[in-house]
Structure 1
Amino acid sequence: GLVSMASRQQLLLFALLAPARSASIVPARLTEASTALEPAARLTEPPSEAAVRKFLSRVQPVPSSSRWEVAHPQKQLTLEQVLKADGLSYYSKRLDTEDAKVLAYVVSVSKVLVKLYIGANSIGDAGAAALAEVLKTNRMVKELSLNENSIGDAGAAALGEALRINTVLTTVSLGGNVIGDKGAAAIAEALKTNTVLKELVIGSSIGAAGASALSEALKVNKALKELSLTGSLGDAGAIALAGALRVNVALTALDVRHNSIGTEGGKAIAEALEFNGGAGTRVLELTLMGNSIGDAGIAAIGKVLRPNAITAPHLRAQAGKSSARVAAAWI
């Protein structure tokens, strides 16, 4: 009654930071403190002291061999310092599911964290789900990057549920994972109602069915500005996305590199951009590198770039000899 929700949540923080006489005391404190929270604010499984120690050992700054740092070694990173940071970036730190659960705790109690980047780790579906659960009610984190974390369809589905509810995340990056059509469909469902997400990176096992689901979402979504999609879309996937481009007027950048898109897919995108241009499109940047759209596809796209003020990085380099002159005239 007299203790605010914020104060109650801090009991969890004190339980972890306060010194304990034995390893069993901290988990006991955490369990006791978590029961003081309202049901919606409780962590289902507070991290153990051992889990916190392992996490901190993995995210310690890499020692430098410089004379200054040898003479003035850095102090060991503490959980208190982690909780005070407004941005956390842990690239390739061997973080696993258990570490992701510690980070989920950090997200749930931090009052300042707005950026969380943990690329090239191994948090998997369970780790993604743990983070997704706290992101449902989090009102601070705006940018989330979980690139290259062995996240599949189950993890994407959990994050999709969070995106249906979350009202602050503006950037979500899930590139280099193993998200397939089902995961893409789950994210797509969230995009149909999400009104705040501006940038989405997702991959890299998405096929035509996933592209079709995302296309349907883009037809109604009015918030997303940048979409990067990798996988095996093929011509069918590109044609599906082209259908969305004819309707969507919010997207400003589309990156579909390395997607096995051929000539027909390239032509479909070109026609959609031309149609969308007449409807007031804001697609200003198109990335197609690593595909095989051929001379005819490149020529078709090249003709719609300049009139619509669209840039297409690397497109000229993909032009075959027969259409290089045509493409160069427009790019």
Structure 2
Amino acid sequence: MGRLAVGGTRDSVGVLCQVLKTGVPSALLTSLSLAQNNLGHLSAMYIGDALAAPALKRLRKLDLHLNRLGDRGVASLAEGISAGGGMPCLDELYLGYNKIGDAGARAVAGCLEGMVVLRELDLASNAIGNEGALAFAMHLSDEGRDEERMSHVRPRLLLETLDLKENRIGDDGACAFRDFLACAGEHESGMGGGRTEEEKIGLYCPKLLNIFLDQNRAIRARGRNALQVLHTTRGIRCMEGADW
């Protein structure tokens, strides 16, 4: 039982999540899809509760796109992901088309540290604005660390693609990505000595290749210029339909 794709109602998802929490047969589950079910935030509470259980810690792919989860639902998911040591094997997370706003984006950004091997995070076609973009920019750099977390060394993220296409991000959000990622050496310079030049340039998220921001219509000339700087300095591609 490597993969499981399920369609259903809130009640059936609740039953499924109770079964998955038992560890039989979810200990063998690596891919779970509940996509395109319009489940809503209450179902997300069940799913978040299941994700917190040890039985699902081997999950590598979670697809929940098109479910109207909203900010409340995504907050429940983030809480479950962060519980019990995070999701150490999760490689792909799909949360597109879920009516997620800035509060939900902050919740997802805040649990990135619990998904250290995550390669692809899809949040396309939501309602994320500049505040949500700022949260991701901070949490993809050392600037997202609070004083308690600064006291211990955290493993670097392996994230390669953050898909934020068709949201409500404007120039300020685009500039936040530039400020926290393109200029990382300056931001990190006061955070302890002894770093190699590679560490200063490489950032907390050294493998990041794509931050897709296509169809964020509030990004105008100032934002596009900021994204071009990000591409020039870090090689991060920001527009899937362009060469930068």
| TM-score for the superposition, normalised by structure 1 | 0.52
Residue-by-residue CA offset, 1:244-263 (whole Å, 9 max, x unaligned): 223214x3xx252xxxxxxx
Residue-by-residue CA offset, 1:98-137 (whole Å, 9 max, x unaligned): 1111111222221431100111111110111111123233
CA contact (8 A) 1:83 1:106 kept: no
Greater mean deviation of Cα atoms: 202-211 or 101-110? 101-110
Question: Match for 2:181 among 218, 221, 244?
Answer: 218
CA contact (8 A) 1:91 1:118 kept: yes
CA contact (8 A) 1:188 1:213 kept: yes
Q: In structure 2, what residue type is equivalent to 1:144?
A: L
| TM-score for the superposition, normalised by structure 2 | 0.69
Residue-by-residue CA offset, 1:277-303 (whole Å, 9 max, x unaligned): xxxxxxxxx523xxxxxxxxxxxxxxx
Secondary structure of 2:234's counterpart equals coil
CA contact (8 A) 2:117 2:158 kept: yes
Identity %: 28
CA contact (8 A) 1:255 1:287 kept: no
Structure 2 residue aligned with 1:181: 130
Residue-by-residue CA offset, 1:131-169 (whole Å, 9 max, x unaligned): 112323322222111000000000001111112454222
Structure 2 residue aligned with 1:130: 76
Q: How many residues align?
A: 189
Secondary structure of 1:116's counterpart equals strand
RMSD (Å), alpha carbons? 2.5
Q: How many angstroms does 1:85 deviate by? A: 2.4
Secondary structure of 1:246's counterpart equals helix
Give the whole-Å Cα distance in 2 for the aligned partners of 1:104 and 1:168.
19
- Structure index of larger Rg: 1
Structure of greater relative contact order (alpha carbons < 8 Å, 6+ residues apart): 2
CA contact (8 A) 2:66 2:98 kept: yes
Question: Match for 1:227 among 197, 211, 216?
Answer: 211
Secondary structure of 2:164's counterpart equals strand
Q: How many angstroms does 1:93 deviate by? A: 0.6
Structure 2 residue aligned with 1:53: 11
Q: In structure 2, what residue type is equivalent to 1:218?
A: L
Secondary structure of 2:38's counterpart equals coil
Give the whole-Å Cα distance in 1 for the aligned partners of 2:52 and 2:133.
26
CA contact (8 A) 2:30 2:60 kept: yes
Question: Given the superposition, is the C-alpha separation of residues 92 and 103 from structure 1 closer, same or farther in structure 2, using an over 3 Å criterion?
Answer: same
Consecutive unaligned residues in structure 1, runs of 5 or more: 1-50, 60-77, 257-285, 289-311, 313-331
CA contact (8 A) 2:113 2:157 kept: no
Query: Which is richer in helix?
Result: 1
Question: Match for 1:92 among 36, 43, 47?
Answer: 36
Question: Given the superposition, is the C-alpha separation of residues 99 and 83 from structure 1 closer, same or farther in structure 2, using an over 3 Å criterion?
Answer: farther
Question: Match for 1:121 among 48, 62, 67?
Answer: 67
Structure 2 residue aligned with 1:28: none
Question: Given the superposition, is the C-alpha separation of residues 154 and 248 from structure 1 closer, same or farther in structure 2, using an over 3 Å criterion?
Answer: same
Q: In structure 2, what residue type is equivalent to 1:198?
A: E
Q: How many angstroms does 1:81 deviate by? A: 5.3
Q: How many angstroms does 1:189 deviate by? A: 0.4
Structure 2 residue aligned with 1:238: 224
Secondary structure of 2:158's counterpart equals coil
Q: How many angstroms does 1:83 deviate by? A: 6.3
Q: In structure 2, what residue type is equivalent to 1:242?
A: Q
Secondary structure of 1:119's counterpart equals coil
Give the whole-Å Cα distance in 2 for the aligned partners of 1:165 and 1:86.
17
Q: In structure 1, what residue type is equivalent to 2:110?
A: E
Question: Given the superposition, is the C-alpha separation of residues 108 and 119 from structure 1 closer, same or farther in structure 2, using an over 3 Å criterion?
Answer: same
Secondary structure of 1:247's counterpart equals helix
Give the whole-Å Cα distance in 2 for the aligned partners of 1:111 and 1:178.
29
Q: How many angstroms does 1:195 deviate by? A: 3.0
Q: How many angstroms does 1:228 deviate by? A: 1.0
Is the aligned partner of 1:161 residue 2:110? yes
